[in-house]
Amino acid sequence: MKNLLLALISGVLLAISWPTYGIPFFIFFAWVPLLMMEHNIEKFSDIKKKKLAVFCFSYLTFLIWNFVTTGWLYNSQLPDGSKSLLAVLFPVLTNSFFMALVFTFYHIYKKSQGTYYGLVFFVAIWMCFEKLHLVWEFTWPWLNLGNVFADYHQFVQWYDTLGATGGSFWILICNVLAFYTIRIWEAGRKRKPLIKNVLMTAGFIILPMVISLVKYYNYTPESVGSINVTMLQPALDPYNEKYQKDSLTIENDLLKLASENSVLQSDKKSKIDLYLSPETSLPGPGSISERGFNNSLLINNIKGFLSQHPQSVFSGGISSHYVYKEGEEKPSTASYLDRLGIWVDEYNSAIQIIPNQQPEVYHKAMLVPGVEIFPYIKVFKPILGDAMLDLGGTTRSLGVSEERKVFANPYNKSVIAPIICYESIYGEFVTGYVKKGANLLTIVTNDSWWGYSQGHKQLLDYAKLRAIETRREIARAANSGTSAHINSRGDIVDDLPYGAKGALTAKVNLIDKETFYTKSGDFLSRICLFVIGALLLFIPGRKYLTRKK
């Protein structure tokens, strides 16, 4: 019962730390009860299957954390309009399983090599686990620990140096120190070591926040100019209107919003330089052929609109496809359409449209598992068949761009990063746009799959971390909200509420200086990978030295 209670406490502390409803400061102690549970089982329990016990108790902890923080996934709808139970069960149960497995690995190593090496292993393996969640096809970094301060970004301004992965490292170290402080007290009941360790733990927690607040209040962006942006928010129902309404009607409504907001609201004399539409805002049903961009009525209508607004550019999200000619090399994501006898690749894309120029296009590279990509299709499709979630998009894996791409504006100095929805969760990934020359981050997204829930709020807050890491301002256009202008300190300067139909205009600064994090990326995760290797190699080495002695 004591171990069960400790597991429950950790689960609750992790859950109530999370944005956008929680208080993140609980995170510095959230792991301590779980670490104590593992220690109790290892040292004092007469349970025969200790590894299984650690796995089960930790699974309960992570189940609480995952369910409370991402339970909003249940709002996803199936094609018949019913709630998708699979949309919440699969990620919650699977991610909790992976987390419990990683924690059990820590238990096994600690039992073999002792507490000190075990705690080092714990920090390193969890960092490696979070890095894995950023790169593999089951990618789900929503609960990476560094995200916890997204709603309190004033306390993590040093993310421009170490990124959100640095935040994960900080949180893990503080929890280990807190746990170690308790163990020192339990072992010796001596006041001096207790005071020393309490002060050290408090220092590790408080000092980075003090440094961050100093940076926050003294930060001055080095702008190389500014542009005026209109972020369009059509507020289409993603399950019905978006994929059933006529494409020209959808576009006309979008261009009407743009026309009504063709000057800066704060300065009626300032024209708009960039019109930004949400993810897959066009065409509605179907997709646009990339072979036929020049002949597309939808794209030519936008060019006609831009001809009435000289030196303005349109960028946003579209659904597109590419038809392969006979003999043309096809990627693994291409599908054969029997009824048409053609091979085709489908994309979730960002496009830039300028009159008298060929449209530029970028294909979303970080795809949502189970919705836009069938993870490890060669392994699981024979087992699962076509069991993917259909959220009005596709039940096949989409094609991707292998490298980041940026859109340069010929009329001014702006170079935008066309970040598409889910991609905004990935810190090192986003720096790839900046390395290509982006001086402004644009995010096009459709967060309305989950209704008015924590889902769209958390995704908006995670974008604030990308602004800090790269020190770039963000223009964010969302289908149903929240469209927002975020400055390079992570502050939301202005926004358009969820569910509102309209447009948000903003004057955004262009910044071209690269941060240390942009240059180095998640180097702490790479160091931890080497640490894991060294600790594993240490086991046979230690056994050899013991035998020799």
pLDDT (tens digit, 9 = 90+) per residue, 280-317? 999 988 899 999 999 999 999 999 999 999 999 999 99
Comparing 6-20, 204-218, 260-274, 329-343, the range with the smallest average pLDDT is: 329-343
pLDDT attached to residue 313: 97
Tell me: pLDDT of 394 over 50: no
Q: Which CA distances in Å does 168 have to 146, 249, 535, 541?
A: 4, 46, 20, 30
pLDDT attached to residue 55: 97
Separation of alpha carbons 141 and 490, rounded Å: 20
pLDDT attached to residue 186: 85
Tell me: pLDDT of 389 over 50: no
391 falls in which pLDDT band (50, 70, 90)? very low
DSSP 83: B
Mean predicted confidence (pLDDT) in 525-529: 96
Mean pLDDT of the chain: 92
CB-CB neighbours of 447 under 10 Å: 25
pLDDT attached to residue 500: 95
Q: Give 60's contacts (C-beta < 8 A, 6+ positions apart).
A: 4, 7, 8, 11
Q: Give 507's contacts (C-beta < 8 A, 6+ positions apart).
A: 226, 227, 228, 229, 264, 266, 267, 270
Tell me: pLDDT of 98 over 50: yes
545 falls in which pLDDT band (50, 70, 90)? low
Tokens 């209040």 belong to residue: 217
Mean predicted confidence (pLDDT) in 352-372: 93
Q: Which CA distances in Å does 340 have to 283, 335, 337, 343, 344?
A: 21, 11, 6, 9, 10
Tell me: pLDDT of 517 over 70: yes
pLDDT attached to residue 528: 97
385 falls in which pLDDT band (50, 70, 90)? low
Mean predicted confidence (pLDDT) in 170-194: 92
Ranges of H-type helices in 353-453: 377-384, 427-435
CA proximity to 460, closest of 504, 416, 523: 504
Tell me: pLDDT of 546 over 90: no
239 falls in which pLDDT band (50, 70, 90)? confident
Higher pLDDT, 373 or 2: 2
Using one digit for the tens of pLDDT, what is the confidence trace for 243-280? 889 999 999 999 999 999 999 887 878 899 999 999 99
Using one digit for the tens of pLDDT, what is the confidence trace for 101-114? 999 999 999 999 99
DSSP 492: E
Tell me: pLDDT of 409 over 90: yes
E strands in 196-305: 223-233, 263-264, 267-271, 274-276, 288-289
- Amino acid sitting at position 63: L
Tell me: pLDDT of 393 over 50: no
Q: Give 213's contacts (C-beta < 8 A, 6+ positions apart).
A: 154, 155, 157
pLDDT attached to residue 141: 96
Tell me: pLDDT of 79 over 80: no
Mean predicted confidence (pLDDT) in 515-534: 96
> In the structure encoding, which two tokens stand for residue 8, read together?
């429950």
CA proximity to 160, closest of 419, 427, 366: 427
Separation of alpha carbons 54 and 3, rounded Å: 9
Using one digit for the tens of pLDDT, what is the confidence trace for 114-126? 999 999 999 999 9
> In the structure encoding, which two tokens stand for residue 500, read together?
């509102």
